[in-house]
């Protein structure tokens, strides 16, 4: 099910600007690396939220890394996805309906390695915080 409802833009100016850019152009990049747009429902508000994330894809599945640049708290979108795991992902103009689940163990290790290859700053982000940075897998129901 596509996240539906009233869209509430982020309170962060840079996030609002990036979302607008992705929606206007169909794609974006951060530090010359591709970005995807994650659409979720707010855990508390039920409002539609949009978050740009680094593109980490393998065999049709995606990883959503809840790094928040190494902050000591999880990003709000992480809680939104836990509450409402049906999400929409926009990847270079293609919209995908996916289901999220948290990766663990060896599966998480494989995806963490992929994510750090795509965006090496994740290594630094993990070193900045005591929290274990969550990694969610976004998949079609047929890929599970």
In DSSP notation, 10-37 reads -SSHHHHHHHHHHHHHS-EEETTEEEEE
Domain total of the chain: 1
Where is mean pLDDT largest: 7-16, 18-27, 117-126, 133-142? 117-126
Residue 110 counted as domain residue? yes
Residue 3 counted as domain residue? no
| Domain extent at residue 59 | 13-143
3-39 pLDDT tens trace: 889 999 999 999 999 899 888 887 776 667 899 999 9
Tokens 């833009």 identify what position? 9
Residue 4 counted as domain residue? no
Residue 6 counted as domain residue? no
Model confidence at 68: pLDDT above 60: yes
CATH number at residue 22: 2.30.110.10
């Amino acid at each position: 099910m596509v996240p539906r409802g009233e869209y509430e833009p982020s309170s962060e100016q840079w996030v609002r600007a990036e979302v607008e850019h992705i929606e206007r152009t169909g794609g974006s990049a951060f530090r010359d690396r591709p970005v995807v747009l994650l659409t979720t429902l707010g855990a508390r508000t039920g409002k539609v939220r949009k978050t740009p994330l680094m593109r980490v894809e393998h065999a049709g599945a995606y990883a959503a890394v809840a790094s928040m640049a190494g902050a000591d708290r999880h990003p709000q979108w992480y809680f939104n996805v836990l509450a409402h795991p049906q999400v929409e992902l926009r990847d270079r103009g293609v919209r995908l309906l996916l289901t999220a689940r948290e990766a663990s163990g060896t599966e998480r290790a494989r995806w963490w390695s992929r994510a750090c290859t795509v965006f090496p700053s994740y290594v630094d982000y993990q070193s900045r915080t005591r929290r274990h940075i969550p990694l969610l897998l976004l998949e079609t129901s047929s890929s599970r």
